[in-house]
Amino acid sequence: DEQKPTYKRVLLKISGEALMGDQGFGLHPPTVERIALEIKSVHDLGVEICLVIGGGNIFRGLQGSAQGMERTTADYMGMLATVMNALAMQGALESLGVFTRVISAIPMDQVCEPYIRRRAVRHLEKKRVCVFAAGTGNPYFTTDTAATLRANEMSCEAIFKGTQVDGVYDKDPNIHSDAVRYDEVSYDEVLQKHLKVMDASAIALARDNHKPIVVFSLDEPGGFAGILRGEGTYTKVG
Ligand code: UDP
């Protein structure tokens, strides 16, 4: 029988692109607001929420380095992009009355809090949403890895990966009409078949620490909260 993934503390990972709407670049405030509402409805269930947002809507280190920039410089620019996204999300959440802290892996005291693990845990206990910014603080990593790292450090029970599709498919469902969605799939199968969930180092880190990854659609209104009540479609990587 199906086990309902009703969790007390979760980490939500979304890509930077999730915030750009149809613009193709940057931030689209109505889209940020829409996602903030999804987060608020989970917060309203009493679930403690960690959030990691990528930076791909603004800058990606790999793209910069492919165009001749030094890789580490490009990666730091990518990390700074995630701080911009985190601030935008903080504004949207707080305008909905959800108290939020932006916590950066790279200290920038005038802008947000530095990452201090025990302090972040305390925020969660006080039901503040923690937005972890600047990734891991290290070049050559991604925000997927940062999400898994913070989920481990914050003792989150699961990593929720919000995407544009309702789970993990055996092939791209936007291209192949006969693509089949997995209800459950193992970390090793994701790695072996190169299924698009998160990058390999993030998957391995989740596997080694037994953190389930719930892949679901953020485009479905009420979908995030629904899953926490045991409804809806998603893929559980575990
Ligand atoms: N980045 C990094 N270290 C980290 C996290 C991110 O160097 O720990 C940089 C990297 O250049 C990356 C960029 O920040 O391309 C944006 O993050 P990511 O590509 O993960 O964003 P997403 O694809 O989720 O929007």
Nearest residue by C-alpha to atom 16 in ligand 1: 55
Q: Are 61 and 74 in contact (CB under 8 A)?
A: yes
Is the pLDDT score of 3 beyond 50? Answer: no
Q: What spacing in Å lies between the alpha carbon of 16 and ligand 1's midpoint?
A: 9
Location of structure tokens 């037994």: 210
Q: Is 79 in the pocket of ligand 1 (CB under 6 A)?
A: yes
Q: Is 148 in the pocket of ligand 1 (CB under 6 A)?
A: no
Q: What spacing in Å lies between the alpha carbon of 144 and ligand 1's midpoint?
A: 8
At 128-178, the pLDDT tens digits run 999 999 999 999 999 999 999 999 999 999 999 999 999 999 999 999 999
Phi-psi region of 62 (alpha: psi -120 to 50; beta: other; left: phi over 0): alpha
At 178-187, the pLDDT tens digits run 999 999 999 9
Mean pLDDT of all residues in 16-38: 97
pLDDT band, residue 2 (cuts 50/70/90) = very low
Q: What spacing in Å lies between the alpha carbon of 229 and ligand 1's midpoint?
A: 31
Sign of CA dihedral 221, 222, 224, 227: negative
Please give the pLDDT value at position 6: 83
pTM, two decimal places? 0.96
Element (H, E) at 37: helix 29-43
How many helices (H) and strands (E) would you count in the chain? 8, 9
Domains defined for the chain, CATH in brackets: 9-237 (3.40.1160.10)
ipTM of the complex: 0.98
Q: Closest ligand 1 atom, CA of 53? A: 24
Residues whose CB falls within 8 Å of the CB of residue 85, separated by 6 or more in sequence, listed in order: 16, 19, 27, 53, 54, 55, 57, 58, 133
CA distance 103 to 11: 14
